[in-house]
């Protein structure tokens, strides 16, 4: 044991850190394994699920997903995770007006949500030219007013899964 290692008898292992940030958000089905499942589990925990981050989409993850889906009022829940589900989970939280120069966690949530929609953007928490371009791309794709600003309409689209809200 190294001099800096400390073991406390009876102590639980440290909680595994989690991050919902991926370059690409792939489709997931029960049985999937790996970093994308860890990101999914992280999002479920952020929504209040009591779940071990283990990178395995097994029965515990499916049960946590079911509980989160019901709590969020999703009507057509299925165990398959695709862009719509990723966007719903990634965009949850406060909805401040964001524009070029904005920074923080809300910007990161928008950036991750855009990435889940296969719109290239870096999730760095800074709303720069690349994020503005990505927001404009989403707005154009959905026939929205294209202003590059994340206001109530853009948040509504993201928090409904990234598709039309009518």
User: Could you give phi then psi for residue 28, rounded to 5 degrees?
Assistant: -130, 145
Of 35, 52, 81, the domain-final residue? 81
Of 64, 81, 98, the domain-final residue? 81
Q: Is the pLDDT of residue 82 over 50?
A: yes
Q: Please, what sign has the CA dihedral across residues 145, 133, 119, 117?
A: negative
Dihedral-angle region of residue 142 (phi above 0 means left; psi in -120 to 50 means alpha; beta otherwise): alpha
DSSP conformational letter for 51: -
pLDDT tens digits along 90-100: 999 999 999 99
DSSP 60-108: HHHHHHHHHHHHTT-SS--S-B-HHHHHHHHT-S----B-TT-BSHHHH
The whole-angstrom distance between residue 73's C-alpha and the CA centroid of its chain comes to 17
pLDDT tens digits along 5-34: 222 233 333 345 788 999 999 999 999 999
Q: 31: domain range? A: 18-81
Of 81, 100, 123, the domain-final residue? 81
Q: Model's pTM, two decimal places?
A: 0.85
Asked whether residue 30 falls in the same domain as residue 54, the answer is yes
CA–CA–CA angle 137, 152, 91 (5° rounding): 70
The number of folded domains in the chain is 2
pLDDT of the residue at 166: 44
Q: Token pair of 152, please?
A: 């109530």
For range 127-131, the mean pLDDT: 98
pLDDT band at 164 (very low <50, low <70, confident <90, very high): low
Residue 108 falls inside a structural domain? yes
Q: Which of 26, 95, 23, 18 is nearest to 49 (CA)?
A: 18
Residue 5 falls inside a structural domain? no
Asked whether residue 70 falls in the same domain as residue 99, the answer is no
pLDDT of the residue at 76: 63
CATH assignment at residue 52: 1.10.101.10
């Amino acid at each position: 044991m190294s001099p800096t290692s400390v073991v406390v008898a009876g102590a639980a292992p440290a909680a595994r850190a989690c991050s919902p940030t991926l370059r690409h958000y792939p489709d997931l089905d029960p049985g999937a394994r790996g970093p994308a499942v860890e990101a999914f589990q992280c999002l479920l925990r952020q929504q209040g699920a009591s779940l071990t981050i283990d990178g395995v989409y097994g029965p515990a993850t499916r049960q946590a997903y079911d509980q989160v889906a019901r709590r969020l009022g999703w009507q057509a829940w299925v165990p398959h995770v695709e862009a719509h589900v990723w966007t719903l989970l990634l965009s949850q939280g406060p909805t401040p007006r964001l524009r070029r120069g904005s920074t923080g966690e809300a910007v990161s949530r928008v950036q991750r949500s855009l990435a889940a929609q296969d719109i290239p953007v870096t999730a760095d928490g800074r709303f720069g030219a690349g994020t503005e371009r990505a927001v404009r791309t989403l707005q154009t794709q959905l026939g929205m007013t294209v202003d590059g600003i994340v206001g109530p309409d853009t948040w509504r689209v993201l928090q409904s899964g990234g598709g039309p809200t009518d």
